[in-house]
Amino acid sequence: MASAPQHPILRAIINHVVDKAMAWSMEELQDVENVIELCGPRPWTDRIAEFLSLHGRSLDEIHSIALKDPKLFPGGVLILPASSFNWPYEGFQYSTRALLRHYVAGYRPGGWRNA
């Protein structure tokens, strides 16, 4: 995630994490299964969808570009296709268009999910 300072999406995800963390017990915070719910892709996607809906756009538009070209949305939100991240999904091939390589360390041997 890259953003302009004080961008509403970044503020929203920070507020989400803080609110959840403050509401959870210490046991919930220490449970590695809760990492994804707290700050994983779903909360990010939800905050982005909320922001885009304020600008008359929908989450369906994000999904429609998942395997296509980058798209600039209102509010300065640039959504990159999945191939930009080299996310290893079924039928995945590493892309020459990738901007980074996502190793999903949580699911690999020795990753945080296997701790």
Report whether pLDDT(55) > 80: yes
Q: What is the pLDDT, as a whole number, of residue 56?
A: 84
Q: What is the pLDDT, as a whole number, of residue 22?
A: 95
Ramachandran angles phi, psi of 78, nearest 5° = -105, 115
DSSP string, 21-86: HHHS-HHHHH-GGGHHHHHSHHHHHHHHHHHHHHTT--HHHHHHTTTS--EEETTTEEEPPGGGTT
When comparing pLDDT for 18 and 107, which is higher?
A: 18
Q: What is the pLDDT, as a whole number, of residue 66?
A: 57
Q: What is the pLDDT, as a whole number, of residue 33?
A: 78
**Segment among 26-35, 63-72, 80-89 with least mean pLDDT:** 80-89
pLDDT in tens, 71-109: 787 788 887 776 676 655 555 566 666 666 655 555 556
Report whether pLDDT(67) > 60: no
**Separation of alpha carbons 33 and 14, rounded Å:** 20
> Model pTM greater than 0.75?
no
**Separation of alpha carbons 84 and 70, rounded Å:** 9
> What is the mean pLDDT of the segment spanning 12-34?
90
